[in-house]
Amino acid sequence: KGIRGACHKGPINYEPTRLFIMAALSAKPLESKIAPSLLACDLSDMAGEAARVMDAGADALHIDVMDGHFVPNLSWGPPVIKKLRQRSDAFFDVHLMVSDPLAYVGPMADAGADGFTFHVEAATDPCDVVDAVRAASRPMVVGVALRPDTPVEALDALWRDGAFLPDLVLVMTVPPGFGGQAFMADQMPKVEALRRRFPTMDIQVDGGLNLATVEVAARAGANCIVAGSAVFKSDRPAEVISALRDGVETLALHKPARKRGGMVSSWRPRAESFEHPP
């Protein structure tokens, strides 16, 4: 579907304003956030796999919901997430690759989602989706995702009264719908543009992230990393998560790397870095 019903009228002025500068100065500093994607886990033991990576230092679980329409693949929906919630207190970072994200807001809140990231390409009016998430029975962080073929300008539809409505932007670095694809470095100009525009907002990348490609993403400004196979297929997930975090903290956040047990790392066990909006 095309993007219709934008909340603003006329061109958006992205030049820093007094209000924007004040908000940026008062905002909480960015943190590295590592969210292993359950799409790559052993699906016969999803709860056990979730516990394994959270114990290894992950900040959240990235949960891909696919409806077989917006993308050709089909994964799981609210009932599976609700069952997993009974076995995990992790932050559920839910990425909805669905044709009608508005219809999923209530069911996802009921299932126990903590983050609700929808595709701007799928929303008739993306502002309506954000408003519905804000009004949901469970507080959820609102994210908006961009496919590789969608320009950053598509986010113009998510401004209202001079404010950008979502809490997070997800830049897909592979075509959505399947795991295990190769990282698309040509998506980094989007990340760079977003980081210049939003110095204190969470910018997430998803697709083909590993110990090599995280450096490219972090240099571009991404602070939230979704990694599937790199974490779940490793027999040392704590070291992988630690190295991913170190890449973000040194290259995106410009923090010095620290040595822990002989390994250069900035690893933090269960950092509560994903938070609900006030």
pLDDT reading at 222 higher than 80: yes
Lowest mean per-residue pLDDT among 16-20, 53-57, 118-122, 178-182:
16-20
- Strands 202-206 and 224-227, how do they pair? parallel
Instruction: Render pLDDT for 46-59 as a digit per residue (tens, 0 to 9).
Output: 999 999 999 999 99
Give the predicted TM-score (pTM) of the model: 0.83
Arithmetic mean of pLDDT over the chain: 86
More confident residue, 220 or 261: 220
Residues 6+ away with beta carbon under 8 Å from 46: 38, 80, 84
DSSP-derived 3-state class of residue 47? helix
Q: Which of 59, 67, 167, 206 is catalytic?
A: 206
Q: How many CB atoms sit inside 10 A of residue 19's CB?
A: 10
CA angle, residues 21, 142, 87, in degrees to nearest 5: 135
Q: Is 206 labeled as catalytic in the residue annotation?
A: yes
Q: Is 114 labeled as catalytic in the residue annotation?
A: no
Q: Which of 64, 93, 167, 246 is catalytic?
A: 64
Position 176 scores a pLDDT of 81
Six-digit token string for 89? 């207190």
- Amino acid in position 263: M
